[in-house]
Structures are given as C-alpha cells and as structure tokens.
Amino acid sequence: MDEGIDILLVEYSEDDVVFFQHALKEAGLAGRVRFARDGVEALACIFGPNGASQAAPVTRPQLIVLDLKLPRLNGMEVLQRLKANPHTRTIPVVVWSSSQEKRDMTVAYQLGANSYLVKPMDFDELAGLIQVMGRYWLHYNQTPKS
C-alpha cells in the first residue's frame, strides 16, 4: 500500500485545483497532494486502475477532499463507495462544494461524510478555510489505521 499521499483532492475545476494547491503551500502543507478530476479517477487512485470498490486500497490518503459536481461519477457516488468499504470507511472525507442545498448536506452526512464545507466566494476566506482544514485533518485529527 502506498502511504505517500496526505490529501487526495477530487475536483473538476482546474482553477480550484491550482488555488487549493497554492493555499496548502502557503500553509506549509503541500507535501503530498494528489488530484483526481472526476469520480472514476478518484476511485482508480485509491483502489488501482482495475480495483473493485470493495477491495483493499492501494493508496490510503490521510484525507479526501471531494467535490460533489464531478463528471463520469459524481461525488455522492464516490462517497457512498468509500464509506461502504470496510477498508476505506475510516478515511476522513470532507465534502467540498459550492452547493448550500440542505438536501446535498443531509445526503452527504447520511453517506458518511466527515465534514461538509461550502466553498466561500471570497479569495482570502477560501484560502483561510483550506489552510485551517489542512491543519486540522493532517495534524490534529487522529484516525485508526486500517
């Protein structure tokens, strides 16, 4: 198993990826970040290109930051598969979305999301949120090793 990823960011917007990476770098947390542009790519990153979603992961990020609006396989489906698998259910998943819809938040938490963050529109607020999130999940939060 590859322990070399701290954060897996699953995000379709290239601008958001660049900004996320920059904010982590500013916080001194940009060490091992991997990006997936859609849900299929995210699951392949975790379970391998031919891995079934009930298999043991080949990569175990400390944190998965997951957008909901993704091509091919949306964020809710990715979340459902990760939390249904006994090998990956303890990996913290932060839903990272522009949606403030109560239904999206409710479903995300019902599926096992560990946190739900709405992307702020303000550049400085967004940078601060990314930095606080990274520090909390990578330095302070403790999870069992599966």
- pLDDT score, position 4: 53
Domains in the chain (CATH in brackets) are: 7-140 (3.40.50.2300)
- Of the two residues 76 and 55, the one the predictor is more confident about is 76
CA distance linking residue 41 with residue 48, whole number of Å: 9
For residues 28 and 57, the answer to whether their CB atoms sit within 8 Å is: no
CA distance linking residue 130 with residue 146, whole number of Å: 26
Q: In the structure encoding, which two tokens stand for residue 126, read together?
A: 């967004």
- pLDDT score, position 118: 93
CA distance linking residue 97 with residue 99, whole number of Å: 5
Sequence-separated (6 or more) residues with CB below 8 Å from residue 89: 82, 83, 112
Residue identified by tokens 């070399």 is 4
Task: Identify the top-confidence range among 14-18, 112-116, 119-123, 124-128.
Answer: 112-116
- pLDDT score, position 53: 65
> DSSP string covering 80-115, please?
HHHHHSTTTTTS-EEEEES---HHHHHHHHHTT-SE
- pLDDT score, position 1: 42
- pLDDT score, position 123: 82
